[in-house]
Structures are given as C-alpha cells and as structure tokens.
Structure 1
Amino acid sequence: MALHLLLLLLAASVVAADEEPFIGVNIGTDLSDMPHPTQVVALLKAQQIRHVRLYDADQAMLVALAKSGIQVVVTIPNEELLAIGQSNSTGANWVFHNVVAHYPATNITAICVGSEVLNTLPNAAKILVNALKYIHSALVASNLDRQIKVSTPLSSSIILDSFPPSQAFFNRSLNQVLVPMLEFLQSTDSYLMLNIYPYYDYMQSNGVIPLDYALFKPLPPNEEAVDSNTLLHYSNVFDAMVDAAYFAMAFLNYTNIPVVVTESGWPSKGDSNELDATVDNADTYNSNLIKHVLNKTGTPKHPGIAVSTYIYELYNEDTKVGPLSEKNWGLFDADGAPIYILHLTGSGAVLANDTTNQTYCIAKDGADPKMLQAALDWACGPGKVDCSPLLQGEPCYEPDNVIAHANFAFDTYFHKMGKSSDACDFKGVATISTSDPSHGSCLFPGSLGKNGTLGNITAPSMNSTIPDSSAYDVHSCEPRYRRLLMVMGFVMWVLVLL
C-alpha cells in the first residue's frame, strides 16, 4: 500500500498556480448594527482588502463595490438552491439579475453555488451538480464563463482519514455527487472550494493535535507530523488538510484541480469550555495564515504553490446563534474598530486592520545586512532623519545592531514623509508593519501614547545625492569621525545601489 501511494504521489500532476496567491475576507451580515455597504467598502479600501466573498448577492453591496477594484465572490444561498437545481431558466434568471446586471463595474470573479450543501442540506445533494451546470450555462450564454468561475464550498469534514494526508479519501457515500462535481470543475477550469477550520480540528482532537501545530507556530523538525507513506513533513493542520484534499481528489483520478480555501480563521473569544478562543490565538493564527499564503510557501505536496484563502471573517457577528465563539470570528467590530492588530511583518500592508493609525516602517525579514547598513546611512544622512536617539547611551542605542537601528531610522523617515508607501521601500529592504517596534524607553513615531507628530520638514527623495554635513553616523562614538564616516557611508550607499 505504501509503495502504491508513493507512486501515486509521483505520478500526480502538479496543480498549477492560476495567478498570484491572495488573502480575502468573508463578509457575514448577522450583526445587530450592520454597517451600510458604503461603510463596508470604505473599510475594505482602507485595509487594502482586494478580495471578498459575500454569502449572498445583496444588490446594495454589489452597487457599493462597483468600480472599487475589489474582486468579489457572490453566493447562491442554500435556500435558493433547490429551485435553481431543478430549472435551467431559474438559474439563468439568477445570473442575469445578480451577475450580468453588475458586471463588469463590480468585478465578480466567482459564484459559490450554495455553501457546505452536502453537510447542511443533504436533500439538495442530488441536484447540486445540476445547479452548477445551469449557472455555468448562463455564464456561457452571457460570454462570462472565462471571467467567472463556478464552484461550491465543501466542508473539510467530508474528507475521511485525513492524516496522513496520503491516505485521505472523500466520504464514499458522497461519491455519486463528488465524481460528477469534480468532472465539472476540471472541465470548466474551476477550483475546489474548501472550508478549513484548524480550531475545530484542535478542539475535537482531545489533545492529539498540539495547539502550536494548529496555530502555524514554528516547530522543530522532530515535532513535525510525518506522512509515513510519502515521508513529507507537516508543521501545521492547514497544510495537512489542503494536501488531504489533493490526495482525496487523486484517489478519484482528478489531479489537476487547484484548491481555494473559502473559509478559515480562529475565534477571539469563547465560552468557559473554549479556553483557546482568545485574542492572542486568533491574532497568531490569522497573522501566520496570511504570511503563509502571501509568502507562497505552498504545501509539502505542492511546495511553492500557495493556496489563496478567505479569512472568516470581516466583522464579529453578534446575532449568530450557538456558543460565544460563533459571534467572535471577526477582524473588526461593527464600528470598524479592530479586534486585534495583526502581526504581518514582511507581508506588506494588506489587512493591516489598523484604524488607530498604527503603521510602522521596519526592515524586511532576511534583508541583506549590507543593504540595510547602506539604507541606514542614507536615512541618517541625506534623509535628514534625527538619528541621535541611536547614539551610545541614548534610548534607542540598544540593541546595538543594524536591524534595530534601521527600524528606527526607517520608521522616522516614513512618518516624516506622511506615511507614504513610497517612503517605506529603501531599495526593497523595508516594509510596512502593524507591529509596534518600540521597546523599553525607545518609542517609535506613532507608537501608542505618542502622537507621532514631527516637525514640518521637507525631506529629500531617496534618490537624493546631496550629502548633509549635519548627519549622524550612528555607529561612531567619536564626534570628530562622524562627518567623514557619514560621507563614506553615503558613497557606499550609492555604490551598492547602482
């Protein structure tokens, strides 16, 4: 059996990446004070969220999203599925009113035909594939089938024996639906939509799944889970479930259908028996998930091929029924206040959830030290940053290393320039972060408790070639050498970057 599975792995086609991986958000509406659609779109724009999934096709929301550039996934609610699955004309009518009427002003990219139908509405299972086909036919008739994908989100619970992933298979009682569904997805060049919740996997494992493994926390190699058939190492539940889906499809002879995760997240609050539904764990999971996807890590089975994912969800939904955790999956409250500040160093400004104006410019993870030093020298010289707090004996001298000092210089310049994204580049060695890099008595501009206001200084462009004799060289303790070292540092900056 092990040999057979290994051969299956080697023979399986590699799932191609259709486009750059992305992080999106789900927008639920079970709120007692649901924001107006224009407010929702304003929040999305402020957070640079470019992909959303709606649980319906609300007309006001689709109008508000028009010309926003945001890519939108709309959903046929489960209660409308039976009618559509039994009537081609009903499906065509739905597409006309909810897609054609808004496209292309509203950039609709996919249609979810129901949601977790096989689990929540089993009596509709027999007409699910018909509904997929009728919706697709309507798109073909409108010449939109190449622009808009059609699929249906599945719960990961229909994948049985999910670890090791190489042994995973779909619940065989569903094969009469799943086989024609996969055939449809493959023939239309669509993707498998999968909802993955490591929180529930962890809660239901009775201690078998370690919390760190569920939260994407780094694990030493000896603590990673190993698939004994393929010898692939798994350091998190998410990757294991994605690969389980790939293997389950392969067992049904479908090896080139990509996976998109339509729901994943972690609750920030729970009942007394949900001790791990905390703000810290929600922050850790979603921050690590975002970095994992955007860094194109991929999975052990398909390294380098990232799985685009929609976080569940944008808002806390206070009218949801069930345990307290059901109401607390959101990144924001209804008023747009963040539940927590994501830690996204190295992942750009996407989903900063920073309505308190807390953004910082810091050195990129893994940036070349020589490039960092050159950028630091520029910031403290031609960039006209006051680097005196970095001198020995001053609040920001410790830790005395180029990364810590570059963080301060970069962030000070960034705030001086009005927090323009162009001011946080430094030839590719800097990035915007929502994590406050302040430490001890070294407070960065914009840190909580500080207004971050700087003098009205007109700072030069990063391409400036005019040395400033008043600049500091922060790694020199002797004033008589400062000007000479500053000039040398500036020359080095120019030579390195030419």
Structure 2
Amino acid sequence: MALHFLLLLLFAVSVVAADEEPFIGVNIGTDLSDMPHPTQVVALLKAQQIRHVRLYDADQAMLLALAKTGIQVAVTVPNEEILAIGQSNSTAANWVSRNVVAHYPATNITAICVGSEVLTTLPNAAKVLVSAIKYIHSALVASNLDRQVKVSTPLSSSIILDSFPPSQAFFNRSLNPVLVPLLDFLQSTGSYLMLNIYPYYDYMQSNGVIPLDYALFKSLPPNKEAVDSNTLLHYTNVFDAMVDAAYFAMAFLNYTNIPVVVTESGWPSKGGSNEPDATVDNANTYNSNLIKHVFNKTGTPKHPGIDVSTYIYELYNEDMKSGPLSEKNWGLFDANGTPIYILHLTESGAVLANDTSNNTFCIAKDGADPKMLQAALDWACGPGKVECSPLLQGQPCYEPDNVIAHANYAFDTYYHKMGKTPDACDFNGVATISTSDPSHGSCLFPGSVGKNGTLGNFTAPSMNSTNSDSSAYKFSCDLRIRSLLMVTGFLLWGVVLL
C-alpha cells in the first residue's frame, strides 16, 4: 500500500482544466409514449437556457431542430452500431459524414460518445471499442473537424474498484487491454474521460454504510465527513469521491492530465416499495445541490478548482423504460414540459430555473460583501426608483432588519420592474437569479404566489415619476442615516445602472 501511494504521489500532476466554464447539461432520452416533437424539445431547452445536451443517438430531426440555436450537442454512436464501425473505417466515415458533417456548423456538435457503458453492458463489442473510436476520430480529421469535436465513450463508474478511499481506487484490471489504449487516445487527442456517476445506486447498494445526506450533497459536520486515510483529504459527498477515484485510477496507470466529464448523474423522483428514497424531495435536493456544486467551481478535494462539467440524467421522465419504477422517473420534466419539481437554485443564472411559469427572483449572492450590498440597496431605493416603503419599520418587509434581507427585496422589485432580464439582476456582481421564493411571513415579493394563491406584486413608480409621499421621504432620510457608506458604494459601483 505504501508503494502504491508513493507512486500516486509521484504521478500526481495537476489535471489541466477545460478551456470553457463548467457547464450543466441534460441527457435527452426518448423512451416516452408521447415523445415531444423535436421543435418542442428545443423550445423547452431554450426556455430553461440549457446550453449543453447529450443525445443517445444522432436523430436527424433533433439535429435539424437544434440548428442555429448555439446549443452544444454531444451525439452518440448507438451500441448496436459499434461492431460494424469498429471493423470498418469506411463505415465510420459514412457515420460521421451523415451525422456530423451534414449538420455542422449550423448544429453545434462538440462531442461524439461512441456507445454507452460498452465495457459493462456489451462485452462482445469491447474488443473493437477503441478501434471504433479511432475510426470515428480519423473521419473527423479527414473533415478537418477533429479540433471542434471530441471523441470519447461514457464509462460506468462500476469499472472502478476499491473506490473508497479514492486514493486506493483502480480500474478493473481485466479491462486494462481496452482501458490503456483508450486512455492513450484520450490523452493524445486532448479529449476527456466520460464517466457515469450515480450516488443513488451507490447509496442503495451500500447496506446503510453510505449515509443519505452524504449521497445528497447535504452539509455535513466535520466529524461526519469521510476522510481518505492516505491523503487526509475530506469528502463531503459521494460524487466528489467517485470523480477523485477516477483520477486516482488513471494516475495508477500513469495518466494524470485527462479531465473528467460526468456524462450521467441524477436521482429518481419516484420508486417502488423497495425504493423508499426515490422521492421528489431527494431528487430535488440532489440535482439542486449538484448544479450548485458544478457552478461554484469548487472542483474536488484532489483537484480543487478544476471543473467537473456534468450532464443531468435526464430531461424527461421516460414512461416506457423497463425495470423498476424508478427507471421511469429520473426526469426533470414530464412529456408536456411541466416540471416534476422546482429546483432550489441560486448562483446558476437562469440555467434550469425550471419553473415554466417563469417564477424567478433576484436575490443577494451568498457571501456578497456587505458594503457592496449596502451600496446596491441604496442605489435601488434611490436612483433605481424602487418603491422601498415596505422596508420601513412597522411595514411587512422590515423584519429581519439586515442588509441582506432588505437587499433581497429591493433587488427583486427592480428585477421585476425591468422585465426580469438577466442584466437587471446583477448589481455590480452581488445579485443572482434564483427559483427559490424569498418571501417570508406577510412580506410577499413581486411574482410570489402567497398562501392564498394571490400574487405578491408591489407596483413600483414609473421611471419618470416623482413621489412626494412623506413616507418615501422618510425612508430616503432613513437610508442616509443608516449608511455613511453610500458615497463609497457609488464609487465602488463604477457605473450608474440605468
């Protein structure tokens, strides 16, 4: 063990981060009895501002519908076509010509997944998998698209053995005849390891060893964190531990600069009687926390700050899937585009702010500088012409009397007044769009649906109106008394928002 760990340290070179920002994408399965038309699918993607999708095939109608949207698309060579492609360069060239070249660049195809979990689901094709990948890549080279389109194959995390502690992880050695040439290819072409990670199954199969909170990304006290005894790294969730296990398994084979992209991860919202933790609440918690984790750019304990872009499994519930009830219920939406649940998101912009009633809010960012928040609040209630009288003492939104709560109200009112455009929820970087309603008690924010079903919609004065109301004057005076930092805040602001 000591020698094994020493080797890992010797080869522990930092993984090169991807050029682009980390992203959250979605997988689009089609096992629905009433599959939406491709144009409806694309309309949903646009409404949710989803900019990355993975298809389980290269459906021509879907590729045409995605044209000129800018959405980045990963297409798939279906498992049943791998044997033919892996034995014929011309078959691979025809596949690329028909499914990539014919659509690019109008359709922004950025990756080709050659099969899906081939090593664990289709062992007969495993022997030609790397050949199929190389033939596909050669066809891209011939079309001068090899720099634009990466080629890889999604692997099941089950091929990683002894995955905790992560520093002891290694790939199933019986698969090395395929994995070593695969990793050679990924390294030489600047591609990435595609990995499917399902903490739900890890939790279900652990017989109580893995706590539910650890699987769901919930906050853990330090004494509940899992500690790698070799590296002393602390792990707060299964997802990070599995990603790092993949990095250590690659390092064990002397590959230290291949990034990981998670091609599938999620949690089912409904299950059978033997699946008590497949619930809406758990699915919402897992996917919301996963999205926050990716966009926070925290990376993993082994590679802090290194992006782990992830595709959520999946866009729609697939009612025609075989197997247990949970197999049909991994989707974020039903076939009509109605959310299965409303994700609890902040810090993700409008990506997957999946309340299709467009019920979004603008709130202060976690950890925002209080002085900057105060300056933003002063601007919103002053030059921004937000009606801030509900924040006066004795009014519905006065409590809690702190800058974060008051800024939340002022930011959200301005955001709604300006038509909920992304630019209206910036405030010099201290605000973010959220799908979680910040209303509390009798303080209803604009757009909030109150307990009685009515909308909270405090009307702000028009931009060119004058308000001589004494309470507004008093509030303006209160602001001046409350903060001597206003002038400093405006200097920090730099540019006056209009």
User: Which band: TM-score by shorter chain?
Assistant: over 0.9
For 1:276-295, what per-residue CA distance to the aligned partner results, in whole angstroms no more than 9, with x for missing partners?
11111111111111111111
Partner of 1:435: 436
Which segment is superposed worse, 4-13 or 201-210? Answer: 4-13
Runs of at least 5 residues in structure 1 that lack an aligned partner in the other structure: 461-465
Residue 283 to residue 484, structure 1, CA distance change in 2 (3 Å): closer
8 Å CA contact 1:9–1:230 kept in 2: the answer is no
Which segment is superposed worse, 63-72 or 285-294? Answer: 285-294
2:381, 2:466 → 1: CA distance?
10
* Secondary structure of 2:448 counterpart: coil
1:361, 1:164 → 2: CA distance?
40
* Secondary structure of 1:436 counterpart: coil
Partner of 2:9: 9
2:258, 2:231 → 1: CA distance?
21
Partner of 2:18: 18
Partner of 2:358: 357
Partner of 1:96: 97
Partner of 2:462: 458
1:11, 1:425 → 2: CA distance?
42
Regions of 4+ moved over 6 Å: 466-469, 471-474, 486-489
Shift of 1:9: 2.8
Shift of 1:159: 0.5
Q: Trace 1:10-49 onto structure 2 (pairs within 5 A).
A: 10-19=10-19, 20-49=21-50
* Secondary structure of 2:443 counterpart: coil
Q: Trace 1:55-454 onto structure 2 (pairs within 5 A).
A: 55-448=56-449, 449-451=453-455, 453=457
Quote the sequence identity (%). 83
Shift of 1:233: 0.9
Residue 186 to residue 484, structure 1, CA distance change in 2 (3 Å): closer
2:247, 2:134 → 1: CA distance?
23
Shift of 1:273: 1.1
* Secondary structure of 2:341 counterpart: coil
Shift of 1:11: 3.3
8 Å CA contact 1:473–1:485 kept in 2: the answer is no
1:180, 1:229 → 2: CA distance?
29
8 Å CA contact 2:374–2:486 kept in 1: the answer is no
For 1:329-388, what per-residue CA distance to the aligned partner results, in whole angstroms no more than 9, with x for missing partners?
011111111111111112221111120121001011111111111111221222222222
Q: TM-score, normalised by structure 1?
A: 0.94
* Secondary structure of 2:99 counterpart: helix
For 1:213-268, what per-residue CA distance to the aligned partner results, in whole angstroms no more than 9, with x for missing partners?
10111112221111111111111100110111111111111111111100000011
For 1:109-136, what per-residue CA distance to the aligned partner results, in whole angstroms no more than 9, with x for missing partners?
0100000001111111101111001101
Amino acid at match of 1:282: A
8 Å CA contact 1:469–1:483 kept in 2: the answer is no
- The alignment of Structure 1 onto Structure 2 pairs a total of residues equal to 490
1:494 aligns with 2:495: no
Which segment is superposed worse, 128-137 or 374-383? Answer: 374-383
8 Å CA contact 1:414–1:423 kept in 2: the answer is yes
* Secondary structure of 1:389 counterpart: helix
Residue 141 to residue 389, structure 1, CA distance change in 2 (3 Å): same
2:3, 2:83 → 1: CA distance?
44
* Secondary structure of 1:67 counterpart: coil
Residue 495 to residue 254, structure 1, CA distance change in 2 (3 Å): closer
8 Å CA contact 1:194–1:261 kept in 2: the answer is yes
* Secondary structure of 1:132 counterpart: helix
Residue 205 to residue 487, structure 1, CA distance change in 2 (3 Å): closer
1:26, 1:275 → 2: CA distance?
25
Shift of 1:303: 0.6
Shift of 1:91: 0.6
Residue 480 to residue 112, structure 1, CA distance change in 2 (3 Å): closer
8 Å CA contact 2:284–2:344 kept in 1: the answer is yes
Partner of 1:463: none
* Secondary structure of 1:24 counterpart: strand
* Secondary structure of 1:42 counterpart: helix
1:2, 1:472 → 2: CA distance?
72
Residue 480 to residue 148, structure 1, CA distance change in 2 (3 Å): closer
Residue 480 to residue 281, structure 1, CA distance change in 2 (3 Å): closer
1:219, 1:488 → 2: CA distance?
39
Shift of 1:444: 0.8
Shift of 1:453: 4.8
Residue 439 to residue 484, structure 1, CA distance change in 2 (3 Å): closer
Amino acid at match of 2:386: V
8 Å CA contact 2:387–2:461 kept in 1: the answer is no
8 Å CA contact 2:170–2:252 kept in 1: the answer is yes
Shift of 1:86: 1.1
Q: TM-score, normalised by structure 2?
A: 0.94
Which segment is superposed worse, 249-258 or 56-65? Answer: 249-258
Shift of 1:451: 3.5
2:132, 2:303 → 1: CA distance?
31
Which segment is superposed worse, 414-423 or 238-247? Answer: 414-423
